[in-house]
Amino acid sequence: MRALGVSHPTLDAGLEELSAVMATGVAHAPGLLVADLRVARGLDYYTGTVYETQLVGHESYGSICSGGRYDALASDGRTTYPGVGISIGVSRLVHKLLALGLVEGSRSTPTCVLVALTADEDRPGAMAVAAQLRARGIACEVAPSAAKFGKQIRFADRRGIPFVWFPGTDGGADQVKDIRSGEQVDADAATWAPPAEDLHPGVKRASTEA
């Protein structure tokens, strides 16, 4: 940059700060930092060095962490405090780990329960059941259309939804079916809950077995 023969107080100060950052980084983590003057982010927000991170060997995937320096991160009215912030793209990291086959999800959708429809005119009741379940932290969705229960169960199975909720008939209780085991029991949307391991999808290390 200096070889270009350009001089400006802001440029000179920036190059000095960047040189100091690089010298410190090289001392603690040789080979991991690169000064890339193409990186520009939050020009009206950050007041110093900005940075982005990449996965070694997967640089084309782009940044998975980023942040920068704030000269005025916080203030108590008398004193202004500087700081350095960073955000981690957890969803980007998980997506890459899944794509590489290093981890696998316990199921393919967040939905835990599919509320079945006996007829299209029963949708308000199904929506009420779904609202009760969601209010208690149970992810669910209502079947897109009324169909034979066997077809709705197959729909849930294809989507990776473990439970199907059936409305009661002739004044009977609602029932919920675990389509993996086939177990079907009476259920009340105000009290029923799935096993803890089914409440949310999880991520685990992929099996290495052939």
The DSSP 8-state label assigned to residue 60 in this structure reads: G
Distance of CA 162 to the CA centre of its chain: 21
Q: How many CB atoms lie within 10 A of CB 191?
A: 8
- The domain in which residue 56 lies consists of 2-105
Residues 59 and 99 in one domain: yes
**Adjacent-strand bridge partners of 84:** 69
Residue 191 is assigned to a structural domain of this protein: yes
pLDDT greater at residue 185 or residue 3: 185
Residue 207 is assigned to a structural domain of this protein: no
**210 has a pLDDT exceeding 60:** no
**209 has a pLDDT exceeding 60:** no
Residues 90 and 122 in one domain: no
Question: Mean pLDDT in the chain?
Answer: 90
Residue 137 is assigned to a structural domain of this protein: yes
User: What sections of 66-186 are H helices per DSSP?
Assistant: 90-99, 123-135, 149-159
Residues 30 and 91 in one domain: yes
pTM above 0.75, yes or no: no
Residues 134 and 87 in one domain: no
The enclosing domain of 180 has a CATH number of 3.40.50.800
Domain count for the chain: 2
User: What sections of the chain are H helices per DSSP?
Assistant: 9-28, 90-99, 123-135, 149-159, 196-199
pLDDT band at residue 173 under the 50/70/90 scheme? very high
Average pLDDT over every residue of 160-172: 91
Q: Decide which of 49, 72, 105 is a domain's last residue.
A: 105
Percent of the chain with pLDDT strictly greater than 70 = 98
Residue 209 is assigned to a structural domain of this protein: no
pLDDT per residue over 178-207, tens digit each?
Answer: 999 999 999 999 999 999 999 998 887 877
Distance of CA 113 to the CA centre of its chain: 20
